[in-house]
Chain A
Amino acid sequence: MSSIFTLSILQSALELGCIYALVALALFISFSILNIADLSTDGCFTLGCAVGAIVTMAGHPFLAFPAAMAAGVCSGFVTAFLQTRMGVPSILAGIIVNTGLYTVNIAVMGFSSNVNLFGCDTMFSLAKDVSDAAWYGSWHKIVIVAAIVLIIGVILSWFLNTRLGLSIRATGDNEYMVRASSINPVFTVTVGLCVANSLTALSGAILAQYQKSCDINLGQGMVTIALASLIIGETLIGKGVILGSCLYRFIVAVALRMSVPAECLKLVSALIVAFAISFPYLKGKASFYRARRMPAGIGGEDGEDAC
């Protein structure tokens, strides 16, 4: 069993976990806070990846990140515009934008379905040259992505406690309260989705530099994977979205190691999400059946007999 948990598995799980944690944070804003299932996440991730790759290829490895985030903001704005100003139901708005983004992404990549970054300077290759220390050579990627995620996390927790952040949280929490206080839900939903999608795109751009390539189908199933991370983080480890993402990557890495074919991963993550979301409901059902099976007088004390 020990051969399954090697250091390199842990390492790559942490690296990928931190990168994808940004998408999980994005869904934390749109899904947990705003209560909107933003299905444009798949396309937006690829958009960030494509923009990041193209800008990196042009010789601006650091400009790639703000550029990708700006692209994400645009995508989020369109999704928000459709649902707040055009009366499109939120799930449909995400699907529409996702479909449209496919063409946009292909166009960004110069109408080819993949782009390679071999030989280009990336944030990782530049950072590697900073120090010659032996440990740094193998751990520099983790240091960088962990630092980015940490900074984003701190900024986000600061933002969610500002007036605007509080308004966004209230928007998803109680629509009646929002109507009675001076919060404009059109505005808060728009800002929330823009912020969320900029994080998704940033994650895509980092991944592009990390794996030195970008593929048009890269984002497929990203919503499900990020939701899995989010839910693993929230149900298993309290509020740790980032830890959840790392844990998910670790599970995936171990699964691959145990010779689960890579093609099956999407199915595995779909099962994880389906199970995790239905878990609280099933738990309630189970306790109900347990109570019902108990002989009368023991389980019925605080049950339906109360009336």
Chain B
Amino acid sequence: MLTLKSISKTFNPGTVNEKKALDRVSLELADGDFATIVGSNGAGKSTLFNAITGAFYVDEGRVILGGEDITYVKEHVRSKVIGHLFQDPLKGTAPHMTIEENMALAYLRASTAAHAYFSRINGREKQRFREQLALLDMGLEDRMKQPVGLLSGGQRQALTLLMATMVTPKILLLDEHTAALDPATAQKVLALTQRIVAERKITCLMVTHNMHQALELGNRTLMMDGGRIVLDIQGDDRKIMTVDDLLQKFKDQAGRQLDVDRILLS
């Protein structure tokens, strides 16, 4: 589904702040792959996501999504088929618009016809939004006319997830989307993520600092360091791997300890 062919990105080239954020990264994700990504701060995880979403164009290499070369496709065009969740739950929804309006926006983004500019949400679609909200089990279906700014962080992140997957994306990018939530809510949002991804067989990349999550969720674990993917574990290797093995592997590859200030080992 997603193919990255040796992509590189250097920020502030030719200055003292020059930073090689991505260094010839290649990656092949099959349809329905769910890969977790771990790595220390500044390893290039978020930069990798931004290269895929088109927040910047890569210096070299190709980005291919669903067989289509999107290396130089504009960000807002790509995002029709890419779902992106941020760590900050406030980033995914418009606070002064109602739940219903936010969902309408997410729903309408799929329609590409010119006349769709003036299309509105009808009663049947409202009913569908209601049913989907009910699945969250957060009581949001009775608050559809309320502005999203009144919701809690967890509720907003769950809503963002619903919006990002309302029209099934070709790839879903999760950038530590549960890290800013309290443990109970994080668990709930994570369970919801797993269910939606599994039901619709969405290809998915997820950054996490939780080493257990990195090994338990999905079917692949990638480890990044210094702008490169240093480790790609899947299949039987992954099934028998423990957190200690993972840390040891990182040490072997990167030649140093994984910095642990934000890493969760439990």
Contacts and interface: CB of A to CB of B under 8 A. Distances in A.
Contacts of A164: 117-118
Nearest to B105: A166
A182 B76 contact: yes
Given A166-B105, A174-B93, A174-B94, A182 B80 contact: yes
A177 B116 contact: no
B160 to A, nearest CB: 8
A180 B173 CA distance: 11
B55 interface: yes
Dominant SS among interface residues on chain A? helix
Contacts of B88: 176
Considering residues A170, A176, A177, A185, which has the most beta carbons from chain B within 10 angstroms of its beta carbon?
Answer: A177
B75 interface: yes
Interface string B22-50: 00000000000000000000000000000
B141 interface: no
B159 to A, nearest CB: 11
A245 interface: no
A170 B119 CA distance: 16
Contacts of B120: 161-163
A176 B84 CA distance: 10
Nearest to B167: A182
A18 to B, nearest CB: 27
Contacts of A177: 91-94
A169 B53 contact: no
A164 B86 CA distance: 24
Given A174-B91, A176-B86, A179-B55, A166 B76 contact: no
Interface string A178-190: 0111111100000
Interface in B39-69: 53, 55
Interface residues of B, number: 34
Contacts of A170: 94, 97, 105
A180 B53 contact: yes
B179 interface: no
A176 B101 contact: no
B123 to A, nearest CB: 14
Nearest to A159: B118
Nearest to B116: A163
B79 A181 contact: yes
Contact of B118 (A162, A174, A183): A162
Contact of B92 (A166, A176, A182, A183): A176
A170 B93 CA distance: 9
B108 A166 contact: yes
A274 B76 CA distance: 38
A182 B109 CA distance: 6
Contacts of A167: 105
A184 B76 contact: yes
Considering residues A162, A164, A166, which has the most beta carbons from chain B within 10 angstroms of its beta carbon?
Answer: A166
Nearest to B77: A182
Contacts of A179: 53, 55, 75-76, 79
Considering residues B77, B88, B118, B164, which has the most beta carbons from chain A within 10 angstroms of its beta carbon?
Answer: B118
A237 B265 CA distance: 54
A183 B104 CA distance: 13
A160 to B, nearest CB: 10
Contacts of B97: 166, 169-170, 173
Contacts of A174: 90-91, 93-95
A35 B88 CA distance: 22
A209 to B, nearest CB: 30
B111 interface: yes
Contacts of B77: 182
Contacts of B105: 163, 166-167, 170, 181, 183
The 10 closest A-B pairs by CB, nearest first: A176-B91, A173-B94, A163-B108, A184-B76, A182-B80, A164-B117, A180-B84, A182-B109, A182-B79, A170-B94
14 contacts: A161-B120, A163-B104, A163-B105, A163-B117, A169-B96, A173-B95, A174-B90, A176-B86, A176-B88, A176-B92, A180-B164, A181-B105, A183-B105, A183-B109
